[in-house]
Amino acid sequence: MGSAHFGLIGLGVMGENLVLNAERNGFSSVVYNRTYAKTEAFLQGRGAGKDIVGARTLEEFVAALERPRRILMMVKAGQPVDDTIASISPLLEEGDLLIDGGNSLYTDTERRVAQLESQSFGYIGMGVSGGAKGALEGPSMMPGGTRSAYDAIEPLVRKMAAQVDDGPCVTYIGPGGAGHFVKTVHNGIEYGIEQILAEAYDLMKRCGGMNGDQMADVLALWNDSEELASFLVEITEVCLRTKDPSSGTDLVEQIVDAAGQKGTGLWTVVSALEMGVPVPTIYAALNARVLSSLRPERLAAEAVLHGPGPHGVELGAPAEGLAPLRDACIAACIVSYGQGMALLQEASKLHDYGLDFAAIGQIWKGGCIIRARLLQRIQDAYTASPDLPNLMLDPWFAEQINRRLPGLRRIVAGAALAGIPVPCLSSTLDYIDSYRTGRLPQNLVQAMRDCFGSHTYERVDKPGSFHTEWLD
């Protein structure tokens, strides 16, 4: 009979850091990697002197674990997860538990939960956010699956998670793929905020003529405010201050302007489209990454497609934190969070997840990439009104949006006149203006749809569906 409390499959950087986290918190561990050389290197390096043992085979791995077995899989999403499940399932016994800690598509997790539970095994799809440092020191964890499966890992994950004033940054999210869906939306919000900060940087550089240190000084002011204080603003300041060792110039200017993505932003947008939830700020961020990958085409287009002549954008005074630009970023960040929360609300209804939005705000306050002081306000908003349809309708957030809108308008208008793309900022303004408009022009769209396709329409003055023979 094995004695290790916890098992890990997959010794990538995240896997290594999570098992070191578990061991530091008093959980003896056994690790397995597809190539044993990787296991040996870990045990002789970072794992040396720890209460961690290695296994050459899955049989050895399973035999080393106490019952019921708790096994965390940190393998690439998709087929590798299914392959790992297929390999280890014949070795498991009733009550044993598998945890997928990668960025899996939530519908895959739904299928795996049903499959494993039918074999009397537990299965948890757990989003883990915080990057390598967070995995080691304490991430935000978003576990979903059956409640009984979560109960079996709760003592472990509560100790491993980041700790904030009101508790650990982990909670039971909901059934099926709820945990992985919440992590997907977390990443979509992250896409939005990263692009918002990138647009601010572009405006400071191109319109303000500021260098990295000057921009970083502004970010430092932003990070000292309740509305923008966050991990992403903090690391943006660090990136802007960092110099290229070979030239001494700003390192960020030596980096190719083509951003990568791992799929979660796309999954957020696709899910939003399928569920009928508008997330234009998040979509604009995804689209900006896709467009950035067309670098050869953009370089060719720059020579033949001409922009406007020099045109200033009123960014404000650096000593005051570039107030209009700061206000634009505050409004856009609020909207990025709000669009993500609205998508979570719809998914909760559609899939009967029973999501606790105040609890989600709480577990995102520490450890994760989108951790920010603003999340306390989000937690407060959903504590006061669990069914709040949109974050902008909360009194505190409504006041923030109203106060920041003039700055957002000024920045978007100025950027348009200067020919500088600000897709997230402009999409945010369109979203707010659309959401606050009682009558939109889609009545004309409905008329056109009825004209060419007899799709019918509703009237404002009487109930029912109507059709007009427009072309006769």
CA–CA gap between residue 42 and residue 170 (Å, rounded): 27
Query: pLDDT, tens digit, for every residue of 2-52?
Result: 689 999 999 999 999 999 999 999 999 999 999 999 999 999 999 999 999
* pLDDT tens, residue by residue, 153-208: 999 999 999 999 999 999 999 999 999 999 999 999 999 999 999 999 999 999 99
Instruction: Write down the pTM of the prediction.
Output: 0.94
Please give the average per-residue pLDDT across 445-459, as a whole number.
96
What local confidence, expressed as pLDDT, does residue 341 receive?
A: 98
Active site residue 50: no
User: Any catalytic annotation for residue 190?
Assistant: yes
pLDDT-derived band at 261, boundaries 50, 70, 90: confident
As a whole number of angstroms, the distance between CA 229 and CA 227 comes to 6
On the question of a cis peptide bond just before residue 90, with omega within 30 degrees of 0, the verdict is no
Q: Is the pLDDT of residue 314 over 80?
A: yes
Residue 223 has a pLDDT of 97
CA angle 307, 309, 311 (to 5 degrees): 110
The answer, yes or no, to whether residue 86 has pLDDT greater than 80, is: yes
Bridge partners (DSSP) of residue 126 are 143
Give the whole-angstrom CA distance, residue 236 versus residue 143.
29
Give me the catalytic one of 16, 190, 194, 237. 190
The C-alpha atoms of residue 108 and residue 70 are separated, in whole angstroms, by 20
Q: Give Cα 272 distance to the centre of its chain.
A: 14
Average pLDDT, the chain: 95
Report the alpha-carbon distance of residue 369 to residue 129 in Å, rounded.
Answer: 6
Span 61-75, pLDDT tens digits: 999 999 999 999 999
- Pairing state of beta strands 97-100 and 122-129? parallel
Residues 6+ apart with CB under 8 A from 220: 237
Q: pLDDT tens-digit profile of 96-107? A: 999 999 999 999
Largest CA distance in the chain: 86
Query: For the ranges 24-38, 223-237, 303-317, 361-375, which has the lowest average pLDDT?
Result: 303-317
User: CB of 197 within 8 A of CB of 189?
Assistant: no
Tokens of 201: 């940087």
The alpha carbon dihedral of 290, 295, 297, 301 has a sign of positive
Q: Say which residues have a Cβ less than 8 Å from residue 409's Cβ, sequence separation at least 6.
A: 429
pLDDT of amino acid 311: 80
Cβ density class 262-282: b for 16+ within 10 Å, e for less = eebbbbbbebbeebebbbbbb
Q: What token pair was written down for 338?
A: 């709000």
Q: How much is the average pLDDT of 274-285?
A: 97
pLDDT mean over 279-304: 96
Instruction: Return the half-sphere exposure (C-beta side, CA atoms, 13 A cut-off) of residue 95.
Output: 6
pLDDT of 149 reads 92
Instruction: Give the torsion sign (CA, 411, 414, 418, 423).
Output: positive
Instruction: Give every CB contact of residue 305 below 8 A, 6+ residues apart in sequence.
Output: none
Residue 199: the pLDDT is 98
Task: Work out the average pLDDT over 321-332.
Answer: 98
**Alpha carbon of residue 164 to chain centroid:** 19
- Tally the residues of the chain: 472
* pLDDT at position 385: 97
SS3 track for the chain = CCCECEEEECCCHHHHHHHHHHHHCCCCEEEECCCHHHHHHHHHCCCCCCCEEECCCHHHHHHCECCCCEEEECCCCCHHHHHHHHHHHHHCCCCCEEEECCCCCHHHHHHHHHHHHHCCCEEEEEEEECHHHHHHHCCEEEEEECHHHHHHHHHHHHHHCCEECCEECECCCECCCHHHHHHHHHHHHHHHHHHHHHHHHHHHHHCCCCCHHHHHHHHHHHCCCCCCCEHHHHHHHHHHHCECCCCCCEHHHHCCCCCCCCCHHHHHHHHHHHHCCCCHHHHHHHHHHHHHCCHHHHHHHHHHCCCCCCCCCCCCCHHHCCHHHHHHHHHHHHHHHHHHHHHHHHHHHHHCCCCCHHHHHHHCCCCCCCCECHHHHHHHHHHHCCCCCCHHHCHHHHHHHHHHHHHHHHHHHHHHHHCCCCHHHHHHHHHHHHHCCCCCCHHHHHHHHHHHHCCCECCCCCCCCECCCCCC
Residue 262 has pLDDT above 90, yes or no: no
The model's pLDDT over 348-403, given as tens digits with 9 standing for 90+, comes to 999 999 999 999 999 999 999 999 999 999 999 999 999 999 999 999 999 999 99
Per-residue pLDDT at 49: 93
Note the pLDDT of residue 320. 94
pLDDT digits (tens, 9 = 90+) for 113-141: 999 988 889 999 999 999 999 999 999 99
Q: Identify the active-site residue in 38, 110, 183, 194.
A: 183
Fill in the amino acid letter for 310: P
